[in-house]
Structure 1
Amino acid sequence: MLTGTSPSADSQLAVAEALMALLRDTTTEPRPDTQLEALTLAVAADLPVLLWGEPGIGKTAALTQLAASLDLPLTTVIASVHEPSDFSGLPIVGDDPAEQGVPMAPPDWAVRLVRAGKGLLFLDELSTAPPAVQAALLRLVLERRIGALQLPPGVRIVAAANPRSSAADGWELSPPLANRFVHLKWAHDHEVVVRGLAGTWPRATLPRLDPEKLAEAVDFARRAVCGLLSARPTLVHRLPTTETRRGGPWPSPRSWDMTLNLIAFATAAGSSREVLSMLVRGTVGDGPGLELVASLDRMDLPDPETLLADPAGAVLPERGDLRQAALEGVVAAIRARPDKARWDAGWALLVRALETGAPDLVVVPATTLAALRQEDWDVPAAIEDLAGVVSLSRRADRAADRVAGVRAKAKAGR
């Protein structure tokens, strides 16, 4: 009877190990990746991130590569296989409970993170955690506390979840837990997967923050968020009506604070609008997020009073929609404080716009500005330069209306 493993079997296992080592031998390269940039930006801002994606999409692999790139020890915790006490702490009876109380001992993985002083805590399969476990996670995600233990500032928290439809015995996230995360939809990129399987994956790097832009970035973020919420107070707190949407991003004072932080980081890093949009929508939801992103462009519009002070030397935005918004802002400023000098300056500015941009952009502001004239105001000479443009635009509108009417009659007669 033979016992043990034959030398030939040992050699074959060694060859198999060598083959697996070659398969694991991959490299990374700098490559534009919107979702990876959004993830690293949120990690840099020290905000908890939740990656949503179908099974097998590469969420765990992305986190493993992220931890390696940032030189952070990775600690993976499968939330659904733990009890609530694993996150709130296990009661340990001491020598004199009546005097010292009963301390809540943290789990071993939390102790290892504290000893390391830094790390990436990966809470996997979050959507399979039952409600009791989700409730126990609230303090960990927000306050970074487990029992009596405080996680060090160098620890970042990232979670992953599958949609309930594809999760194994899945649950919807509770609103309090969902509102503590930046939600990012994780999807595969065909080119990234193919190149990665060939041995080269995108490299995750922390964003480069410009030290000279920090104060400017904070000011911009505060003006962006406060400006929107001042104009739209109902967006400050809006709990969704459906259970599924409550388990995703939605606006609250907490999530707006996270949004403000992300805008500041994205601005200081010079991130694209696409990355910023992904982060903002992942914090306060699609509707409020898109509304905020749309308002960011208008924040850079020139001050109407500055334009009125020097119409001849005014510098107007090049982009058509921003130029028209700037002109409408000037007309609104004149309407709010009308006088002859400001009205004349408005006409001079419209002439400037006509000389430096598309003529059709001045039609609506010119029509509105003309309606603000008071009886004792003389018509400025600048109006003559604009009369032809307005008249031509009106004739074009009437022609378009006639064509539309002919088409409608023809269609009705079929």
Structure 2
Amino acid sequence: MPTSMPTHPSPRLDVADQLLGLLGEFDTEPRPDTQLEALTLAVAADLPVLLWGEPGIGKTAALNQLAAALELPLTTVIASVHEPSDFAGLPILGDDPAQQGVPLAPPDWAVRLVRAGRGLLFLDELSTAPPAVQAALLRLVLERRIGALQLPPGVRIVAAANPRASAADGWELSPPLANRFVHLPWVHDHEVVVRGLGGTWPVATLPWLDPGALRPAVALARRAVCGLLTARPELVHRLPSSETRRGGAWPSPRSWDMTLRLIAFATAAGSSREVLSLLVRGTVGDGPGLELMAHLDRMDLPDPEDLLADPAGAVLPERGDLRQAVLDAVVAAVRNRPERARWDAAWALLVRAVETGAPDLLVVPATTLAALRREDWEVPAAIERLAPAVALSRRADLAAAAVARPARAGR
């Protein structure tokens, strides 16, 4: 007689399920995460984000954590296994196509997002989607439309891709699609992985926007972007020459508008310079992004005229490159309007600089300022306080040059 099948799971599998449950238990700890903060700000700014990382690096886990933190339902769509019509809409014949046309029906996941009114749409494996699918994604990413369906404002879009070298049948992203994303590199943190495998995973602290900082943040963002592009008009639009770079971040009017928005959000959130750098370089590219960061640094520098008016109360930047820029600007201001009182004030400012920072930064401004002296101007006593520091810096430069000469001669 045939043996009847058991109607309940095997006790051995019950034990296995218990073991799986124990392996799934973990604790959490708060931990700052630059990558996740940059991602969260871009999502809050309602900008599509593209995470670039090797397979298995934790991109999907980060999206699950982000969705949970923002209390958004997560919808995952594998772009590479869909046809173009899945994103453009499936044509459906009606009773009278000649009169009513042929409507484009959206896929079920899009309908669910519209019904929910909010959500996080995760487009995975974007770099393995063929060009025809990438073209169909353009309208979804930019206009949030699928066929005749408009996604609600509460839906945010994040995509993930592997570099072409590590993607199965990978394609470079088309320039029009690439220019619609904020590109963020995604790498693993060794310490986080080790602690997580040990049973303690981090819970990232998400940025908080200060309601009182919104208007100043917008003003700063507009001033920064417009100031840079006024001085460097060639950066407004620069399509890279290589196919690989065209598939990443590059400057265009669209990406500069995205950058302006990200500066405002990062400023209102009080984010670090590292987070802001990730965002702007991921939007307009490394070169223009670094220029923008340098421009932002210069915007925060004190006015040379204010420093000359009160050298004793001057507060100089701590970073060496910014301090050097301030001192050079002060000397330039004296050169443009050379007066005895301004010349003396500049020397007093150099004394304050040597008392609060590295003396090697004073060699060039002190030498230039000395060359501006008029015959009837007495040498200020402050110069004596600078002489030892300037002489020491010069001796160090001469010693470094002497060491470098034999090294160059031996090449």
Check the 8 A contact 1:90/1:106 in 2, yes or no. yes
3-state secondary structure, aligned to 1:121: strand
* Structure 1 length-normalised TM: 0.89
3-state secondary structure, aligned to 2:76: strand
Task: Find the counterpart in structure 2 of residue 173 from structure 1.
Answer: 173
Task: Find the counterpart in structure 2 of residue 389 from structure 1.
Answer: 386
Distance 1:406 1:185 in 2: 41
- In the TM superposition, residue 281 of structure 1 has moved relative to its aligned partner by 1.6
Task: Find the counterpart in structure 2 of residue 33 from structure 1.
Answer: 33
CA gap 1:407/1:351 in 2 versus in 1, 3 angstroms: closer
Check the 8 A contact 2:362/2:390 in 1, yes or no. no
Check the 8 A contact 1:70/1:205 in 2, yes or no. no
CA gap 1:400/1:217 in 2 versus in 1, 3 angstroms: closer
- In the TM superposition, residue 76 of structure 1 has moved relative to its aligned partner by 0.8
Distance 1:410 1:319 in 2: 31
**1:185 maps to amino acid:** P
Task: Find the counterpart in structure 2 of residue 23 from structure 1.
Answer: 23
Distance 1:279 1:4 in 2: 62
Distance 1:21 1:271 in 2: 38
Identity %: 79
Task: Find the counterpart in structure 1 of residue 155 from structure 2.
Answer: 155
Check the 8 A contact 2:316/2:323 in 1, yes or no. yes
- In the TM superposition, residue 175 of structure 1 has moved relative to its aligned partner by 0.7
Aligned counterpart for 1:379 among listed residues 363, 377, 380: 377
Consecutive unaligned residues in structure 2, runs of 5 or more: none
Check the 8 A contact 2:32/2:205 in 1, yes or no. no
Distance 2:280 2:3 in 1: 63
Q: Does 1:401 align with 2:405?
A: no
CA gap 1:32/1:398 in 2 versus in 1, 3 angstroms: closer
Distance 2:221 2:364 in 1: 32
Q: Does 1:300 align with 2:300?
A: yes
CA gap 1:6/1:313 in 2 versus in 1, 3 angstroms: closer
Q: Does 1:217 align with 2:214?
A: no
Deviates more, 1:247-256 or 1:9-18: 9-18
- In the TM superposition, residue 174 of structure 1 has moved relative to its aligned partner by 0.5
Q: Deviations along 1:202-258, whole A, 9 cap, x unmatched?
A: 224531112222222222222222222222222221111111111111111211222
Q: Deviations along 1:332-371, whole A, 9 cap, x unmatched?
A: 2233344555444434433443455444433322222333
3-state secondary structure, aligned to 1:30: strand
Distance 1:38 1:403 in 2: 41
**1:156 maps to amino acid:** R
Task: Find the counterpart in structure 2 of residue 246 from structure 1.
Answer: 246
CA gap 1:333/1:169 in 2 versus in 1, 3 angstroms: same
Distance 1:2 1:68 in 2: 50
3-state secondary structure, aligned to 1:177: helix
Deviates more, 1:256-265 or 1:354-363: 354-363
Q: Give aligned pairs, total.
A: 411
- In the TM superposition, residue 280 of structure 1 has moved relative to its aligned partner by 1.8
Alignment of 1:201-212 (within 5 A): 201-204=201-204, 206-212=206-212
Check the 8 A contact 1:344/1:380 in 2, yes or no. no
- In the TM superposition, residue 324 of structure 1 has moved relative to its aligned partner by 2.4
Task: Find the counterpart in structure 2 of residue 96 from structure 1.
Answer: 96
* Structure 2 length-normalised TM: 0.90
Check the 8 A contact 1:104/1:147 in 2, yes or no. yes
Task: Find the counterpart in structure 2 of residue 187 from structure 1.
Answer: 187
3-state secondary structure, aligned to 2:326: helix
Deviates more, 1:125-134 or 1:273-282: 273-282
- In the TM superposition, residue 149 of structure 1 has moved relative to its aligned partner by 0.9
Task: Find the counterpart in structure 2 of residue 258 from structure 1.
Answer: 258
3-state secondary structure, aligned to 1:203: strand
Alignment of 1:77-88 (within 5 A): 77-88=77-88
Check the 8 A contact 1:25/1:199 in 2, yes or no. yes
- In the TM superposition, residue 398 of structure 1 has moved relative to its aligned partner by 6.0
3-state secondary structure, aligned to 2:183: strand
Distance 1:208 1:368 in 2: 46
Alignment of 1:275-294 (within 5 A): 275-294=275-294
Task: Find the counterpart in structure 1 of residue 228 from structure 2.
Answer: 228
